[in-house]
Amino acid sequence: MTRSDRPIRPGSVVDSHRLTTVAGSKAAVPDAERLIHLQFRRFAGCPVCNLHLRSIVRRHAEIEAAGVREVVLFHSPADELREHVEDLPFAVVADPDKRLYREFGVEAAPRSMLSPRAWLPILRAVLRSSWAILRGRERPPAAVPHGGRFGLPADFLIGPGGRVVAAKYGEHVYDQWSVDELLSLAAEVARPAVPRERRTPAGG
């Protein structure tokens, strides 16, 4: 799947979805009370995805305290994905038909792996995952991942009314918001607007 258009931008209003997680619970997008950080990842066991999601896990308490709920999508079947994400403390959703990927305009392209900016993160991710697999802490990905290897990441911060606060379409496999960037965006939403100071006309 390749698409050049990027239909979701700040100010867009997304449709309501009630998604089923791989754990069998429901995840509403948008949420009635909190911001939703909707992440589009790649395939089950993707080393680069795992590297990034571990940073989310380490600071998940901070993210929740900022009023943000994580919902993470993969383009793998639920049965294949479940064994890779069972320890994650947030909602993980399988979208093997890439229905939501198409709806949100999330692309797949060879540049996801070929960009020089991706090479160091890929190396770090492969080394970390290889060590975790050898120690029995992670399972290896499928030899031929469902949906392919060239998926690009995407991030959307969605308000309770469905309005998109911020959006990022990754240019390579490790091009997504860091936790610090996410928290900064959430803080901008929470910051009350400062009313403009009224000026009194001269001589008034």
Averaged over successive runs of 10 residues, the pLDDT of the chain (204 residues) comes to: 68 96 96 96 90 94 97 96 91 96 90 73 73 70 71 96 96 93 94 62 54
Note whether residue 191 is domain-resident: no
Note whether residue 195 is domain-resident: no
- Looking at the structure of the chain, the number of domains it has is 1
Cα distances (Å, whole numbers) of residue 14 to 36, 53, 126, 130, 190: 12, 24, 35, 38, 20
CATH no. for residue 49?
A: 3.40.30.10
At position 193, the amino acid (one-letter code) is A
Note whether residue 80 is domain-resident: yes
Q: What is the pTM of this model?
A: 0.84
Note whether residue 89 is domain-resident: yes
**DSSP symbol at 104:** T
Domain containing residue 157:
17-185
Cis peptide before 30 (omega within 30 of 0): yes
Note whether residue 118 is domain-resident: yes
Task: Say if CB 149 and CB 41 are below 8 A apart.
Answer: no
pLDDT at 103: 95
Note whether residue 125 is domain-resident: yes
Note whether residue 45 is domain-resident: yes
Task: Say if CB 30 and CB 14 are below 8 A apart.
Answer: yes
